[in-house]
Structure 1
Amino acid sequence: MEIFWFIPTSGEGRYLGTNIGKREVNISYLKQVAQAADDLNYTGVLIPTGQTCEDAWIIASSLLSATKKLKFLVAVRPGLMTPTTAARMAATFDRVSEGRLLINVVTGGDPVELAGDGIHVSHSERYEITDEFLYIWKNIMEKRKVDFKGKYYDIQNGKLLYPGVQTPYPPLYFGGSSEAAHQIAAEHIDVYLTWGEPPTAVKEKIEDIRRRAQEKGRTVRFGMRLHVIVRETEEKAWEAANELIKYVDEKAISATQKILARQDSVGQRRMTELHNGSKESLEISPNLWAGVGLVRWGAGTALVGDPETVAERLKEYKELGIETFILSGYPHLEEAYRVSELLFPHLPLKQSSIKAGIQ
């Protein structure tokens, strides 16, 4: 089991849905979070991407010299960058970091945000673009000269002069719940990521992607993006969960759900359906709480409980095939320590390689 942490480049605070308890997020603070994750032996960190975030590649580069062995899961965006440009960026970062790069393939799910970046294509077209993008990107990263003419890309004599250090290339991570996303995962991806859904739903996803990958002669590993609220006792953990959303009112929920309703992401729709915009009945599966998703898009669920209970829930997902957990909690600096101190002793953790780049 590998545990990652999260770098909050879009904002941070003690409560959701309010400016109360909000703290300034600058490079000094982000370094504190990254250094804590590094010192506490998290395998790596996810750096989010999107209009509301600081640029992931610049932040990751800024954090390299502040850390020693921490890996960085950084997004490439098919449609927003060309595959050859993304390959040069990845190879340079991988070489400079001595193999500490992981690639998060993000197709995007908000048509309004995408339009703001000049992208005006349908959901299915985005995945067609992603398919072509990854074919080109992988071939170039494997030091092949690429001549490719597809529906979206026309590459002539594409090549990479300065390769990265990981072979054949930094591992590809990817999430998506649509059929098109599952096909991309089966065809191209090393680690498929799901958000924290009830175990039965996660099992269905894993089985479907495994079957599709086997048909192509491939294997795929699995990971989960999830919040955690762990305290010394079950009672304290649920108190902390309720405290996190104490300022969330109907107006805040309505504003967030309006933004989510415009998205064409199947995964986001599944997250929203877990709570249906209501603060009632937020425990959707034992210890799995959907309160975060009331006012946050993306990962919207948290495991809540004492260390032993949360560890058992994580192990249940592990039994289904989840090997990597990308966790987070509010505020991220303090919670990085709390999760390490309370939860790590109860988990069968993979020992991080001292030499970066070794899988």
Structure 2
Amino acid sequence: MKILWFIPTHGDGRYLGSTKGGRPVTFSYLKQIAQAVDHLGYYGALLPTGVSCEDSWVTASSLISVTERMKFLVAVRPGLISPSVAARMAATLDRLSNGRLLINVVTGGDPVELAGDGLHLPHDQRYKLTDEFLHVWREIMSGKISDFKGEHFQFVGSEIAFPPIQKPYPPLYIGGSSDAAINVTAQHIDVFLTWGEPPAQVAEKIEKVKQVAKKTGRTVRFGIRLHVIVRETEEEAWLAADRLISELTEGDIEAAQKVFSRFDSVGQKRMTALNKGNRNGLEISPNLWAGVGLVRGGAGTALVGSADVVAKRMREYEKLGIDTFILSGYPHLEEAYQVAELLFPKLDIKQENQQNDKQWLSPFGGIAAR
């Protein structure tokens, strides 16, 4: 099981949808989170993308020199950047980080934001563009010369001079729920990500991806993107969940849901259907809470409970075929420690690069007077 954390380049805080206890995005704060991720033994961290975020490539580049082991899951945006330029950027970051780059393929789900970036293609056409993008990107990242003519791209003699460290290229991740996303996955993607839906829905999606990928002769791995609220007791965890949305007004929720309604993302529509835009019935599956999605786009659910219970729920997803968990919690610095200290000991996670704390001679834990 691989556990990744999240770098909140759109801001952080103790409450959703409120400036109370809010924290601005500064390099100092992002560095603290990245170094915590690095030290605690997480596999890596996801950096979000979009108009409300600091640029993920610049941020990851600034953090590679202050970390040693963690990987950075960074977005490429087909339609907003050329595949050849994206390949050069990826190869460079992979080389400079000594092979610590993961690629998140993001087609975008908000037509208004995409129009602001000059992209006006409808949903399924964006995925056709993504298919062409990845065809070229994978070809030249693998050391080949690409001569490609498609509906959206035409390349003659495209190549990169300096190859990435990871072969044939850094692993490709994608999140999606639509048939178009699944078709792209079957052709190109290494790890298919789902947002945190009830296990039965996740199982159905995984099976669908497997069947489509089987036709292409490819094998796809699976991951899930979730928030997590883990405490020493169930009661503490649910109190923390209630506290997280305690500053939200009905107006806040209504305004956020209005924005989400314009999205053409199938995944976003599925998230919105889980919370129904109100505070009632937010536990949609045992310990799966949809409160985050009241005002946050994208991943809108959290696993809530004691470490034993949250680990149990994660193992239920693992049995479905999920081997990668991308987690987050508010505020992200403190919750990175909370998750690592409470949850990691309950799970069989991949920590081959974690530093051995036993080498340190400094005090460890609380020490009684002597």
Q: Does the pair score TM above 0.5?
A: yes
Is 2:235 the counterpart of 1:235? Answer: yes
- What is the aligned partner in structure 2 of residue 345 from structure 1? 345
- Structure 1 residue ranges (4+ consecutive) displaced by more than 4 angstroms after TM superposition: none
Query: Does structure 1 retain, via aligned residues, the 8 Å contact 2:41–2:354?
Result: no
- What is the aligned partner in structure 1 of residue 362 from structure 2? none
- What is the aligned partner in structure 1 of residue 195 from structure 2? 195
Is 2:31 the counterpart of 1:31? Answer: yes
Offset of 1:354 from its aligned partner? 6.8
**Structure 2: distance between partners of 1:25 and 1:137:** 31
**Structure 1: distance between partners of 2:352 and 2:254:** 42
Offset of 1:249 from its aligned partner? 1.4
SS in 2 for 1:131: helix
- What is the aligned partner in structure 2 of residue 303 from structure 1? 303
TM-score (norm 1): 0.98
Seq. identity, %? 63
Which whole-Å deviations, capped at 9, do the CAs of 1:256-284 have from their partners, x for residues lacking one?
00110000000000000001101000000
- What is the aligned partner in structure 2 of residue 84 from structure 1? 84
Which whole-Å deviations, capped at 9, do the CAs of 1:79-121 have from their partners, x for residues lacking one?
0001000000000000111100000000000000000001111
Give the unaligned 5+ runs of structure 2: 356-370
SS in 2 for 1:50: coil
Q: Which amino acid aligns with 2:116?
A: G
Which shows bigger deviation, 103-112 or 209-218? 209-218
Within 5 Å, which residues of 2 pair with 1:193-232?
193-232=193-232
TM-score (norm 2): 0.95
SS in 2 for 1:311: helix
Within 5 Å, which residues of 2 pair with 1:1-359?
1-353=1-353
**Structure 2: distance between partners of 1:19 and 1:281:** 26
**Structure 1: distance between partners of 2:59 and 2:18:** 25
**Structure 2: distance between partners of 1:124 and 1:3:** 31
**Structure 2: distance between partners of 1:57 and 1:292:** 26
Q: Which amino acid aligns with 1:347?
A: L
SS in 2 for 1:214: helix
**Structure 2: distance between partners of 1:101 and 1:337:** 23
Which whole-Å deviations, capped at 9, do the CAs of 1:111-169 have from their partners, x for residues lacking one?
00000001111101100000000000000001111111100001011011111110010
- What is the aligned partner in structure 1 of residue 363 from structure 2? none
Offset of 1:68 from its aligned partner? 0.4
Offset of 1:352 from its aligned partner? 3.0
Give the unaligned 5+ runs of structure 1: none
Offset of 1:253 from its aligned partner? 0.3
Offset of 1:214 from its aligned partner? 1.1
Which shows bigger deviation, 235-244 or 15-24? 15-24
SS in 1 for 2:86: helix
Query: Does structure 1 retain, via aligned residues, the 8 Å contact 2:6–2:45?
Result: yes
Query: Does structure 1 retain, via aligned residues, the 8 Å contact 2:39–2:354?
Result: no
**Structure 1: distance between partners of 2:352 and 2:111:** 38
Q: Which amino acid aligns with 1:193?
A: L
**Structure 1: distance between partners of 2:342 and 2:178:** 36
SS in 2 for 1:157: strand
SS in 1 for 2:13: coil
Matched pairs, number = 355
RMSD (Å), alpha carbons: 0.9
SS in 2 for 1:209: helix
**Structure 1: distance between partners of 2:212 and 2:27:** 42
Offset of 1:2 from its aligned partner? 0.6
**Structure 1: distance between partners of 2:344 and 2:39:** 13
SS in 2 for 1:174: strand
Which whole-Å deviations, capped at 9, do the CAs of 1:305-348 have from their partners, x for residues lacking one?
00000000000000000000000000000000000000000001
Query: Does structure 1 retain, via aligned residues, the 8 Å contact 2:95–2:165?
Result: yes
Q: Which amino acid aligns with 2:205?
A: K
